[in-house]
Amino acid sequence: MLIDVHNHLGADLLFYLHGDFPYSQQLVQMQQEGGALGITHWVAFPFVSYAAMDVTKFREGGIAFDSGGLETVPYAFENRRLLEECQVLFPEEGKSILPFMIVDPMRHTDAQAKELVKLRSEYRFHGIKIQSTIIQSDIKRLAHEGKVFLDLAREWDIPFLIHSSVAKDDLWAQAHDILDVAEANPDIRFCTAHSCRFDKECLDRVNELPNTWFDNSAHCIHCVGAVDNLPYIAPKERRFDSDYSDPGRVIADLAAAYPNKFMWGSDSPFYSYAAAISGKVVKLISTYDAEMKALRAAGEEAVNRITSTNTLKFLKLADESILG
């Protein structure tokens, strides 16, 4: 069994209209590519922008919510669309998908919760995803108006997988803020994505808290960021010590340092990113194959641990027969 714990399915209208890449991924496409590389199961969730945002601002990259939305409840359309693709349109292929529902922790949270309750009565899903940076939604609000999602996760015994950042200009998804929420809710499981951007202080804290894990999604381009000292990676004085010119070595080192807390994920299709920023094209490009080669280089024992053992503990599936 090889579980990829971090994948997006569907489409992102903000990325598409603004001219950014990637902006979509289909279930069958993902399975054909990843399955040929040895992946057997995928944790998957929708892309990040949602139809209840002001889509008229997307071509200029604007983030607004007051008007211009195609829907009224954040992620209501996107979550149902994902589950229907996995369990209605492609039920056989969907057996290998472990869906997570995505939420906005700050806006119309009671209405979102009602939609999740409806979906729970119709479909299976196994966790809650948050990517608060792109939608500019403060992750600290999860402990306030977003508390309804904590209550549902507690009731359903499902975990959170949360996009994390250490960049100074990211006001919405700081890894240490996520870990503060996790520490205050020890009966709920949390995963901080993207290896906490290799911030050793945060990784050590993940290791210490009994209810937290991390994934290494978009690993290869994060290693490039470390080599080039780009601002989305922890600075050298806070960075986990490894040879970032060798992504496989970094996986092996992380697996050795945090043997029970590290989970592998590709972030498909966001293992690559390209956009025109301030008139300059920025390209960070990897492939599913490159992510898998870095994983395999860590050795069979580490691969089994970070793609199966640790991930199953995080998911704590009530019915593991779906993994058959």
The reported pLDDT for the residue numbered 318 is 76
First to last CA, the chain: 9
- Identity (one letter) of the amino acid at 68? G
Alpha helix stretches (DSSP H) within 123-199: 147-156, 175-184
Distance CA 220, CA 286 (A): 6
Output DSSP code: residue 174: B
The reported pLDDT for the residue numbered 227 is 98
Give all strands of the β-sheet with 3-11 in edge-to-edge order. Answer: 24-25, 3-11, 41-46, 97-102, 127-130, 160-162, 190-192, 212-215, 262-263
Distance CA 148, CA 125 (A): 17
The reported pLDDT for the residue numbered 265 is 98
Angle subtended by helix axes 175-184 and 200-208, to nearest 10: 10
Residue length of the chain: 324
CB 87 within 8 A of CB 63: no
Distance CA 160, CA 166 (A): 19
Q: What is the pLDDT of residues 55-98, one digit of tens each?
A: 999 999 999 998 889 999 999 999 999 999 999 999 999 999 99
What does each C-alpha distance from 200 to 4, 234, 240, 241, 264 come to in angstroms?
A: 23, 8, 5, 8, 18
Q: How many other C-beta atoms lie within 10 A of the C-beta of residue 297?
A: 16
**Cross-strand pairs, 25:** 10
Angle at 261 between CA 256 and CA 267, to 5 degrees: 100
E strands in 166-318: 190-192, 212-215, 262-263, 273-277, 280-284
Q: What is the dihedral of CA 320, 321, 323, 324, to 10 degrees?
A: 150
Q: What is the dihedral of CA 149, 203, 5, 38, to 10 degrees?
A: -170
The reported pLDDT for the residue numbered 322 is 80
Q: For residue 166, how many C-alpha atoms fall within 13 Å in the half-sphere facing its CB? A: 27
Domains of the chain, start order: 3-323 (3.20.20.140)
Prior bond to 159 cis, omega within 30?
Answer: no
Q: What is the pLDDT of residues 53-66, one digit of tens each?
A: 999 999 999 999 98
Determine the 3-state secondary structure of 148 from DSSP.
Answer: helix
Angle at 263 between CA 259 and CA 269, to 5 degrees: 155
Beta pairing, strands 127-130 & 280-284: unpaired
Distance CA 32, CA 39 (A): 10
Phi, psi for 240 (deg, rounded to 5): -55, 135
Only one residue has tokens 């990897």, namely: 286
CB 141 within 8 A of CB 116: no
**Cross-strand pairs, 98:** 43
Which residue stretches of the chain have pLDDT < 70?
none
Distance CA 42, CA 1 (A): 11
